[in-house]
A and B are shown apart, each in its own frame.
Chain A
């Protein structure tokens, strides 16, 4: 976008009037998070892309139903996640999350940043393996809240649950993860 960046609400308002460029900006802004959310749910990159594209096309047709002033992100995530679920159902797959390989880091030392140092590489692998092993709804709620950093409201929209359900399932999922990782690791 050139000049003063338009606020999201202005983009939505313009898109509602039929301004395709404004809608294009919204697609740009949210395609990343929409795609990753769809990937978690659908389990494959191809299905996720398909779901995200279909979701954005449907959302355009449904813009007249969008409540003015509401945040766009949970709304689009809900639509895209629905598409993703429909694609997953047939295949019964789940996204297998893996860690980026950090080639430049010599083993056991000189991690790139203090944050990355929070836990060691081995522990990360272990933790991710434990997350991947969780039952689907536990894995999804953890991935939405911590990996995609969705808010509670956005998680609820994406997973089609109530907010209270997100809260309770998250706490249950964390409890299971603590058990799986061994009590002493993350007491």
Chain B
């Protein structure tokens, strides 16, 4: 082994690591407290699912979990919906956390996004606007109605590309219905599902997901739009139709 590598190995032996915690007790206590191995997906009044992104399609298959038991696929530009036998266990988070990106004004979002930012007339001006510079390439703009900690609705838009994919997993009982918005394809999802995505390293990030209620996903030109709120399909389609 070359000298540098030997020196590094030697260095490793002299590092001052923090004291190793004793995990067994707490881990066993927690698994006993959760007698059902698969955590149930709670229905909540308003739940927000959103995803950041995926790199190449090929990278998806490098992640072993995603290979398991995919029952069906549905595709939209930049988004793939998978029906799977079982949803992975995820930690439930309330509110939207930090991953919508930076809080910005609507004008700033328009400036920074690579696409024309649209506002659903039926919802009006959002209470909060966030911009994430990507992935996805071109950025992602999110409108929050209500507040980030207590959102009533979330509207997201990005320039979906076919080589960047958000993976959305849905449980067998989730209703997936193909819809058309202004002549373009979309899907209406009702029931348990969540988003997972691959980050830039091709690394599956299934933790940063939100358990979601009802979602409408649709294409508009080269953009993919997404609306999530505790509303009916008819209401969602009405809001979608009001996007100018």
Interface residues of A (CB under 8 A from B): 20, 23-24, 27-28, 31-32, 35-36, 39, 45, 48-49, 52-54, 56-58, 60-62, 64-65, 82-83, 85-86, 89-90, 97-102, 115-116, 118-119, 123-124, 127-128, 131, 142-143, 146-149, 159-162, 174, 177-178, 181, 186-187
Please judge, given known A-B contacts A27-B27, A53-B26, A57-B27, whether A82 and B89 are in contact too, CB under 8 Å. no
Chain A residues with CB under 8 A of B34: 57, 61
Please judge, given known A-B contacts A123-B7, A160-B204, whether A99 and B15 are in contact too, CB under 8 Å. yes
Select from chain B the residue with minimum beta-carbon distance to A147: B12
Select from chain A the residue with minimum beta-carbon distance to B65: A65
A60 touching B27, Cβ below 8 Å: yes
Give 7 A-B pairs besides A28-B24, A35-B18, A60-B31 with Cβ atoms closer than 8 angstroms.
A52-B23, A53-B26, A123-B7, A124-B10, A127-B8, A147-B15, A178-B4
A159 touching B4, Cβ below 8 Å: no
Q: Which of B14, B17, B31 contacts A116 (CB 8 A)?
A: B14
B12 touching A124, Cβ below 8 Å: no
Confirm or deny: B107 has a beta carbon within 8 angstroms of a beta carbon on chain A. Answer: no
B31 touching A127, Cβ below 8 Å: no
Please judge, given known A-B contacts A48-B18, A60-B31, A162-B62, whether A119 and B10 are in contact too, CB under 8 Å. yes
In the bound complex, CA of A123 to CA of B54 (Å): 42
Chain A residues with CB under 8 A of B26: 53
Chain A residues with CB under 8 A of B208: 86
Q: How far is the CB of A95 from chain B (nearest CB, A)?
A: 9
**How many interface contacts (CB-CB < 8 Å) are there between A and B?**
148
In the bound complex, CA of A43 to CA of B208 (Å): 19
Q: How far is the CB of B5 from chain A (nearest CB, A)?
A: 7
B4 touching A64, Cβ below 8 Å: no
Select from chain A the residue with minimum beta-carbon distance to B89: A61
Q: How far is the CB of B58 from chain A (nearest CB, A)?
A: 10
Q: Is the interface of A mostly helix, strand, loop or mixed?
A: helix
6 A-B residue pairs with CB within 8 Å? A36-B20, A48-B18, A53-B21, A123-B7, A159-B201, A160-B199
In the bound complex, CA of A158 to CA of B176 (Å): 35
Q: How many residues on chain B are close to A (CB under 8 Å)?
A: 50
Confirm or deny: B205 has a beta carbon within 8 angstroms of a beta carbon on chain A. Answer: yes
Chain A residues with CB under 8 A of B24: 24, 27-28, 31
A160 touching B15, Cβ below 8 Å: no
Chain A residues with CB under 8 A of B21: 31, 35, 49, 52-53
B62 touching A58, Cβ below 8 Å: no
In the bound complex, CA of A52 to CA of B24 (Å): 11
B11 touching A124, Cβ below 8 Å: yes
Q: Which of B5, B68, B98, B205 contacts A146 (CB 8 A)?
A: B5
In the bound complex, CA of A186 to CA of B91 (Å): 46
Chain A residues with CB under 8 A of B68: 65
In the bound complex, CA of A35 to CA of B8 (Å): 20
The residue in B6, B11, B28, B208 that gathers the most chain A C-beta atoms within 10 A of its C-beta is: B11
In the bound complex, CA of A24 to CA of B6 (Å): 35
B16 touching A27, Cβ below 8 Å: no
